[in-house]
Chain A
Amino acid sequence: MKTAVEAKTMTLVQAITDALDTMLNEKEEVLLLGEDIGKNGGVFRATDGLQAKYGEGRVIDTPLSEAGFVGAGIGLAVNGFLPVIEIQFLGFIYPAYEQIMTHASRIRMRTMGHFTVPMVIRAPYGAGVRAPEIHCDSTEAIFTHMPGIKVVCPSSPYDAKGLLIAAIEDPDPVLYLEPMRCYRSAKEEVPEGKYSIEIGKGNKLMEGDDVTVITWGAMVPETIKAAKLMKEKNTHCDVIDLRTLFPLDKDMIAESVQKTGRTVIVHEAHATGGVGNDVLAIINDTSFLYQKAPVERVTGFDAPVPYFGFEDHYLPTPARIQQAIEKVMKF
């Protein structure tokens, strides 16, 4: 799907702005809605400059009402628009949970396709940036459990732009999770213009035959660190960045775990009910007889995400990931 030629070096958050700019420019139906996204450009500057460029009619500061503007977004979406809604932090999405669960995700089903909701909800998520409490949640599994909505989570600037464009073009609602820890931590070349990354496809970041390590979002850099350290110890990891949390890339998972027979799943969300368990289910369903060791999970704990004074203890670290890799290797 790569049609663009020129490229610019940018951060993940700049790539998001670039994707929004590309789509606002391409389709008049695209509208941005959210809190402080206009003049302020969003609390993370993801919409910086877009209101000045496209006007208050397209980049819309909403009242502080997650249920209200997600609900209104549904009304806009069924009536011909392509709303891209910014939730300031994933931890503030809960008032809108009902609108997403009972309406956005099931209007197509309820009306057999007569009404549809091509809407994107963007939300920064995750801990590790010393943010105040509730600003650090990683509750993606609430939404992967919800039939009728897709959930994506890029970890690099290139993927951020391509996945956001794919999300906006998707005919169904998509929750687009932004690892705020990665917003400005790295830069890479991002093509100008329009390109998209298929929803539902993971990305192999490192090739190795010994152990599969599956992760996404803000845990990707931590996992890469661990995998590089393990490489020095002559253990070679197949590192998968899932990129899409629903629907999971079953084929990529199966291909890799059948090759290695050993798997570590890494996510910062709580262990119980986490997306890692769905990855485990895929391994069970597709690759049971290939397994040489029980799958290890390295996750946040089943405790509320703590105040940031404790977050280094809560978040998986390269050291914890290495320990898990060693454990499956030694089994």
Chain B
Amino acid sequence: MENHFPIRRIMDENGHIINSDYEEKITEKLVKEFYRHMVRIRIFDRKAISLQRQGRIGTYAPYEGQEASQVGSAAALRENDWMFPTYRDHGAAMTFGHSLRNILLFWNGRNEGCVPPEGKKIFPPAIPIATQIPHAAGAAFAERKKGTVNAAIAYFGDGATSEGDFHEGLNFASVFKAPVVFFNQNNQYAISVPFNKQMNTKTIAQKALAYDMPGVRIDGNDVFMVYFETLHALERARKGEGPTLIEAVTWRYGAHTTADDPSKYRNQSESSNRRQEADPILRLERWLKNMGRFDEKWVQTIEEKAAAEIDQAIAEMEDFPPADPAVIFDHVFAEPTWQIRQQKEEYLKQMGGGR
């Protein structure tokens, strides 16, 4: 089956375009935009880890190594599309326009962090595995019923494809031709369990066959491939042709979260090798160099800009007013029940008396 689902790519590790069909579509503007976003989310990821180490945010799920998958896919979305990310997809959410401050607030244990900027249809990150897949199918089905051209994208990892919700969500979307892209980032580990212990299939893309939808396997570190394939899948969705399953093969360099140590379950030299050979940002840099368009000064400027933007977001997160206990009670129902009113009143009274 693996032969039927080869890993497709537009650019090789050395930054050479190996599929000439795309040459004209790859504009300098697009490349610089991808590069800028990838650098931005990588700096964010590293800063977030460091904030966690300093106790300034809670447990954090890093994505370094997966930037091309997240940026390429999110960049293909249109303003009115829906995004259903997991806890490791805030790189995609940032690229799609989520607030950096709110993403940091989320990692700092604040509900305020799950609120997207006005008009942005970004769902809060799914914490249980694969449960967001039926949501995306449903939200997309709703768009179809309304007769819009909006689509939805659902992010999930390799381990999620073992869950029932993955299959139920794909089947639902397939039956109702929901305009949704199921974007899998196969980073080859579900916490500590490697791909070959997670499933007996060699690919995730082949699972699309069961639902009679296109299944494509792409190099998730090739931002061009990710972008154009997602764009294509979204176009199909907008035209009423139904869902697509994309398997973006990638790799997370670091831990599942800041609470684990990957060297316990895998040889981390693999990560250093991949960093040298297949890093998504390095690859784009090689392309720029090959084309003679690499500009050190520009890179420095975008790095500085991103760092400043992130520092600003961190400052805003840290200056955010302390947690108001009313928030615990005020959003359980549109109108609080008597239990909630009573518990809130008693707790606030206790607080007033105790402090």
Residues of A within 8 A of B (CB): 31, 57, 60, 62-63, 65, 67-81, 95, 98-99, 102-103, 107-116, 147-148, 150, 171-172, 200, 246-247, 250
Quick one: which of B113-144 are within 8 Å of A by CB? 114-116, 123-124, 127-128, 131, 133-143
B171's partner among A65, A99, A112 (CB-CB below 8 A) is A65
5 shortest A-B CB distances, which residue pairs?
A75-B138, A71-B134, A68-B168, A72-B138, A79-B142
B172 in the interface, Cβ–Cβ < 8 Å? yes
Q: List 20 A-B contacts (CB under 8 A).
A: A65-B171, A68-B171, A71-B138, A72-B138, A74-B138, A75-B137, A75-B141, A76-B141, A78-B139, A79-B142, A81-B142, A102-B128, A108-B332, A111-B115, A112-B327, A112-B331, A116-B334, A150-B333, A171-B334, A247-B339
CB pair B327–A72 under 8 Å, yes or no, is no
> A75-B140, A78-B139 in contact; A68/B327 too (CB < 8 A)?
no
Cα-based distance from A108 to B115 in the complex (angstroms): 10
Residue of B nearest to A247 (CB): B337
CB pair A80–B146 under 8 Å, yes or no, is yes
CB pair B82–A79 under 8 Å, yes or no, is yes
Cα-based distance from A108 to B340 in the complex (angstroms): 15
Residue of A nearest to B174 (CB): A63
Residues of A within 8 A of B142 (CB): 75-76, 79-81
Instruction: Report the minimal beta-carbon distance from B146 to chain A, rounded to whole angstroms.
Output: 7
B169's partner among A68, A81, A171 (CB-CB below 8 A) is A68
A148's partner among B131, B133, B136, B333 (CB-CB below 8 A) is B333
B264 in the interface, Cβ–Cβ < 8 Å? no
> A71-B168, A74-B135 in contact; A250/B332 too (CB < 8 A)?
no
Residues of B within 8 A of A80 (CB): 142, 146
A67's partner among B127, B134, B139, B175 (CB-CB below 8 A) is B134
Cα-based distance from A81 to B140 in the complex (angstroms): 12
Residues of A within 8 A of B334 (CB): 108, 113, 116, 171-172
Residue of A nearest to B146 (CB): A80
Residue of B nearest to A60 (CB): B176
Quick one: which of B94-115 are within 8 Å of A by CB? 111-112, 114-115
Cα-based distance from A150 to B165 in the complex (angstroms): 24
Residues of B within 8 A of A71 (CB): 131, 133-135, 137-138, 165, 168-169, 172
Residues of B within 8 A of A107 (CB): 124
Residues of A within 8 A of B25 (CB): none
B172's partner among A65, A150, A246 (CB-CB below 8 A) is A65
Residues of A within 8 A of B135 (CB): 71-72, 74-75, 78, 103
CB pair A112–B138 under 8 Å, yes or no, is no
CB pair A73–B331 under 8 Å, yes or no, is no
B145 in the interface, Cβ–Cβ < 8 Å? yes
B164 in the interface, Cβ–Cβ < 8 Å? yes
CB pair A250–B338 under 8 Å, yes or no, is yes
Instruction: Report the minimal beta-carbon distance from A168 to chain B, rounded to whole angstroms.
Output: 14
**Most interface-central of A78, A114, A200 (chain B CB within 10 A):** A114
CB pair B165–A76 under 8 Å, yes or no, is no
Given contact pairs A65-B164, A71-B131, a sample of 17 additional A-B residue pairs in the complex whose CB atoms are under 8 Å apart: A65-B172, A70-B134, A72-B169, A74-B134, A78-B123, A80-B142, A98-B128, A110-B111, A110-B114, A111-B114, A111-B331, A112-B111, A112-B114, A112-B331, A114-B116, A115-B124, A247-B339
